[in-house]
Amino acid sequence: MKSGDITVRDVTLRYGGKQPVLALDRLSLDVRPNEFAVIVGPSGCGKSSLLYLIAGLEDRTSGSISVDGAEVQGPGADRGMVFQSYTLFPWLTVAENVAYGPKRRGVNDPAAVTRYLEEVGLGGFAGHYPSQLSGGMKQRVAIARALANDPAVLLMDEPFGALDSQTRHAMQRLLLRVWDHSKKTVLFVTHDIEEAILLADRVFVMSGRPGQIRKVLTVDFARPRHEDLVLDPAFIAMKREIMGLLKQDEDA
């Protein structure tokens, strides 16, 4: 299992047009191998854009991004991504979706596909089409599909944003278990502070537009973490700190 680091140096993103928008302003961050890093920020701060830049799906205006030592030039299979919207290929079965990435590299390993599906608890759904699955199941397949490609890093753009809170908690547990097994470097974007603290080794708090990293917090609650952690005074203190950091934008 590969696991790489992410280095973002002075990245600026400016959207052109009649009214140019400075979305990201000389933003820098580092994610270590095997780390679970979470970015929180107010909506519109450019946190999703940052993820798209690292994935190579958008072009940065300036600055440098490298993953596992290699400069990012366009998208590639070394950076797996799970999107907020459902992006399973509807014409492929669940198993075929998971097998898609390896197949592009000429690898055909049905046993591995089964293993990844079982990892996300969907061993019995290999032959189903995405339209037959619930939202949570679709995102589980999306995680399995990204992992099956054995990427150096896993980028996750609010993957549980569209799910109800029950499913969301189940998905967080599942993701932590999968991460514990695979030890992939994960960069996870969310606007949910509790989700950020529950999942993260480190939380990167972003400022409002133009987006910059306002503060980096190290989360050292013992793993495995339980949802009851949200009632822990230390947890609440950290949540309050992040809320305060995000609030600065509202007051400004």
Partner 1 sequence: MKLFTPYRAIPRGVTLGLGLGVWVVVIGLWTLVTYGGSVPDMFLPAPGKVVDTAFRLAADGTLWEHTWASSQVVLTGFAVSSIVAVPLGLYMGTYRVVQAALEPVVNFIRYLPVTSFVPLFILWIGIGFQQHIAVIIFGTFFQQLVMVADAARSVPRDLVNAAYTLGTTKSETVRHIVFPATLPAVLDVLRVTMGWAWTYLVVAELVAAKAGLGYISLKAARGFQVDIIFLAIAMIGLLGLLTDQGFRLARRLVAPWAENAR
* Minimum CB distance to partner 1, residue 176 (Å): 22
Residue 231 CA to residue 40 CA, distance in Å, equals: 20
Q: Backbone phi, then psi, for 157, in 5-degree steps? A: -100, 95
| 3-class secondary-structure state, position 232 | coil
Binding to partner 1 by residue 130, rule CB under 8 A?
A: yes
Q: Which stretch binds partner 1 (CB under 8 A): 101-109, 163-171, 208-216, 225-233?
A: 101-109
Among the listed residues 57, 112, 162, 229, the single contact to partner 1 using CB under 8 A: 57
Among the listed residues 101, 136, 208, 211, the single contact to partner 1 using CB under 8 A: 101
Q: Which stretch binds partner 1 (CB under 8 A): 38-46, 50-58, 161-169, 192-200?
A: 50-58
Look at residues 123, 129, 120 and name the one whose alpha carbon lies nearest to residue 170: 120
Among the listed residues 44, 76, 161, 210, the single contact to partner 1 using CB under 8 A: 76
Among the listed residues 12, 100, 174, 191, the single contact to partner 1 using CB under 8 A: 100
Proportion of the chain in helix, strand, coil states, percent, rounded to 5: 40, 25, 35
Binding to partner 1 by residue 47, rule CB under 8 A?
A: no
DSSP H helices, the chain, are 47-55, 94-104, 110-119, 135-148, 165-182, 193-199, 233-251
Identity of the residue numbered 102: P
Residue 198 CA to residue 225 CA, distance in Å, equals: 7
As given in the structure block, the two tokens for residue 59 are: 């072009």
Among the listed residues 71, 73, 91, 165, the single contact to partner 1 using CB under 8 A: 91
Binding to partner 1 by residue 79, rule CB under 8 A?
A: yes
* Nearer to partner 1 (CB atom), residue 28 or residue 85: 85
* Nearer to partner 1 (CB atom), residue 38 or residue 133: 133
Look at residues 201, 172, 157 and name the one whose alpha carbon lies nearest to residue 46: 157
DSSP H helices, 6-93, are 47-55
Q: Which residues sit at the interface with partner 1, rule CB under 8 A? A: 52, 55-57, 75-77, 79-81, 83, 85, 87, 89-92, 100-101, 104-105, 129-132, 142, 145-146, 149, 151, 155
